[in-house]
């Protein structure tokens, strides 16, 4: 994470360097740590590190957790359904990019 300054607001860039602990990640996603643990159990997000204390969450986990949460709220799918939709959406995006070139 890197500090950037605009002429009006303090902004923080969330990119590949983002490397958050479980607590930082759950605060950012406005989700309980229990919900995050369920997402990990489902294989929906895979943090780096071997134990919860060492877990680190990056940009891909943020994107997947937020999209999953929106799908769960808006489409009333369960975690497994959200995980499946995310995997298929990622595959679709890869295919789109390949067919583009």
Partner 1 sequence: MEYIDYYKTLNIEQDCPQAKIKQAYRQLARKYHPDINKDPGAEEKFKEIGEAYEVLNDPEKRAAYDKFGHNWQQGQDFTPPSDWDAGFEFSGSGMGRAEQAGFSDFFSELFGSRQFNQGQNQSFSMQGEDHHAHIVITLAEAWHGAKRTFTLTKPEINTQGQFVNKQHTITVTIPKGITAGHKIRLKGQGMSGHGKGKHGDLYLEISFQENPLYSSIKRDILITLPITPWEAALGGKIACPTLGGTVNLDIPTNSQSGHKLRLKGRGLCSTSHSGDQIVTLKIVIPRAITDEEKEVYRTMAKIMPMDPRQNMKG
Q: Is 101 in the site for partner 1 (CB under 8 A)?
A: yes
Residue 42 or 62 with smaller CB distance to partner 1: 62
Q: Is 8 in the site for partner 1 (CB under 8 A)?
A: yes
Pick from 31, 63, 84, 90: which binds partner 1 (CB under 8 A)? 63
Contact 1, 19 (CB under 8 A): yes
Q: Is 89 in the site for partner 1 (CB under 8 A)?
A: yes
Contact 88, 94 (CB under 8 A): no
Question: In sequence order, what are the residues at sequence separation of 6 or more whose Cβ sits closer than 8 angstroms to the Cβ of residue 62?
Answer: 14, 18, 25, 28, 29
Residue 3 or 51 with smaller CB distance to partner 1: 3
């Amino acid at each position: 994470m890197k500090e950037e300054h605009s002429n009006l607001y303090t902004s923080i860039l969330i990119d590949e360097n983002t490397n958050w602990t479980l607590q930082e990640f759950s605060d950012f996603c406005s989700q309980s740590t229990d919900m995050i643990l369920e997402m990990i159990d489902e294989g929906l997000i895979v943090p780096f590190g071997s134990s919860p204390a060492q877990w680190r969450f990056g940009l891909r986990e943020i994107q997947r957790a937020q999209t999953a949460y929106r799908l769960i709220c808006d489409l009333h799918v369960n975690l497994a359904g959200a995980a499946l939709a995310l995997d298929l959406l990622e595959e679709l995006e890869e295919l789109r990019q390949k067919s583009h070139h």
